[in-house]
Structure 1
Amino acid sequence: MTEAATRRTPGTPCWVSLMVHGLAATQDFYEALFGWEFRPGPQQLGPYVRGLLDGKEIAGIGQLPPDRHLPIAWTTYLATDDADKTAETIRSHGGTVGVGPLDAAEAGRMAIASDPAGAVFGIWQAAAHTGTAVAGAHGTPVWNELVTRETSVVGKFYEALFGYEVDAVVSADFDFLTLLLEGRPVASLHGVGRALARDRGAHWMTHFEVDDTDATARLVTELGGHVLQPPRKSVNGRIATVADPEGAIFTIVRSSGV
């Protein structure tokens, strides 16, 4: 496959990863929930594995050092052609770069950053590893949404990073932006005001496609996780908000029309 064929347009969500304390137990949870198999990945930040479906890479899980007590959360990575240049742009527009940029062996070059509201995200300059290789099947990331207090400032931040077109829903009680690249929706920003959980703050939320939202939510509980918002209808399909046994929160969705 040529480099041109695998290139992701800068700003496209291209990968999700999770850092946990119990790597083996977390692998067991997601294997049972989504059917992932695992193989080792780059070890720059400690033990790290990639989850696969039918041999194709879906997501990454790494192990935190015992003395690091960071929030356990899924991290959305946005594609870039130049991680160093994007890191400079992040800093110059009020964001913070916490890790990197650094090379992840031959896979690519990465950094972990946070936007002006404190939401953590990654940037990924692909080399051998282009990102999530399957879309639409059970257990694959299907959407990424930034949950923040209000979208106006952070919306301009992300526009400055990647030149998104923005489709805004403007009303007195709903603050929502859809980010588009080349006319295609790739992510969304949801301003929830005072409903933003104080213990979490602004954050990116990964949505995973599932065959059956209700059955998957029950399985989350059986496997030691928690259902935070029970299955319900949404404009995008039937969704539920859940957490794995270490507390990483994510959304499961049976998309409309699937």
Structure 2
Amino acid sequence: MTEAAARRAPGTPCWVSLMVHDMAATQEFYGALFGWDFRPGPQQLGPYVRALLDGREVAGIGQLPPDRHLPVAWTPYLASDDVDATAETVRHCGGTVGVGPLDAGEAGRMAIGSDPAGAVFGVWQAAAHRGTAVTGVPGAVAWNELVTRETATVAKFYQAVFGYAEEAVVSADFDYLTLQLESRPVASVHGVGHSLPRDRGAHWETYFEVRDVDEAVERVADLGGHVVKPARDGSHGRVATVADPEGAHFALVASRTQ
């Protein structure tokens, strides 16, 4: 693949990463659930591994510093051509930058920020590491959704920072829109009002593709995780929300287009 072909448009979700307390147990859980293998590096922020699906990179898992009491959560990274400029725009538009910008070895340059509602996301300027090599197949990321109180204000933030267009779902009782790049939806924003979990607040949720949601939910429980929302049929396929043994929430989806 040429460099031009590999480049992702700014704002495209390009990676997901999870910071945990027990890396060995976490690798065992996701390896058994999704069939992932692991490769070390980069180590600039401490121990870190990249998860591989059939030899292709799909996600990262890192070690939380023992003195940091941070929530264990999957974090999406959005592509940028200039992470320093993006970080400045995040601050200017009412967000915060908690980590970086800093170099991750030869892999690229990164920052971790949060939007005005507090949802955490990463920004990735690719160098040697382009990001996720495969999406939408069983064991890989299928979709990223921002769960927040209401879409209008926060969507303006992401539009200003990443240049998204938005398309709302017209419904009297459903506050939902997609963020689009080049007329293609790349992520969604779901306003849930007072249903927003108090213990989590606004957050990005990662959807992983599976062949059979009900079977995967059973496996999550067998491996020491738990079910947050049981399997149900949605507009895009069958979906369930689960948590790993350290409490990181994520969604399992069997897409209708699979």
TM-score (norm 1): 0.99
Rounded to whole Å, the distance in 1 between the matches of 2:215 and 2:235 is 20
Rounded to whole Å, the distance in 1 between the matches of 2:132 and 2:71 is 23
| 1:80-229 pair list within 5 angstroms | 80-229=80-229
Q: Which amino acid aligns with 1:198?
A: R
Rounded to whole Å, the distance in 2 between the matches of 1:194 and 1:171 is 18
Q: Which amino acid aligns with 1:88?
A: E
Residue in structure 1 matched with residue 29 of structure 2 by the alignment = 29
Rounded to whole Å, the distance in 2 between the matches of 1:37 and 1:257 is 26
Shift of 1:5: 1.2
Instruction: Identify unmatched segments of 5+ residues in structure 2.
Output: none
| 1:4-19 pair list within 5 angstroms | 4-19=4-19
Instruction: Identify unmatched segments of 5+ residues in structure 1.
Output: none
Rounded to whole Å, the distance in 1 between the matches of 2:41 and 2:242 is 26
State the aligned residue count: 258
Residue by residue over 1:74-123, the C-alpha shift from the partner in whole angstroms, topping out at 9 and shown as x without a partner, is: 00100000000000000000000000000000000000000000000000
Rounded to whole Å, the distance in 2 between the matches of 1:134 and 1:145 is 18
Q: Which moved more, 1:133-142 or 1:162-171?
A: 162-171
Shift of 1:2: 2.0
Q: Which amino acid aligns with 2:66?
A: P
Residue by residue over 1:113-140, the C-alpha shift from the partner in whole angstroms, topping out at 9 and shown as x without a partner, is: 0000000000000001011001222110
Rounded to whole Å, the distance in 1 between the matches of 2:225 and 2:195 is 23
Q: Which amino acid aligns with 1:220?
A: V
Shift of 1:61: 0.1
Shift of 1:247: 0.3
Q: Which moved more, 1:61-70 or 1:192-201?
A: 61-70
Residue by residue over 1:25-61, the C-alpha shift from the partner in whole angstroms, topping out at 9 and shown as x without a partner, is: 0000000000000000111111000000111100000
TM-score (norm 2): 0.99
Rounded to whole Å, the distance in 2 between the matches of 1:257 and 1:88 is 38
Percent sequence identity is: 73
Runs of at least 4 residues off by over 3 Å: none
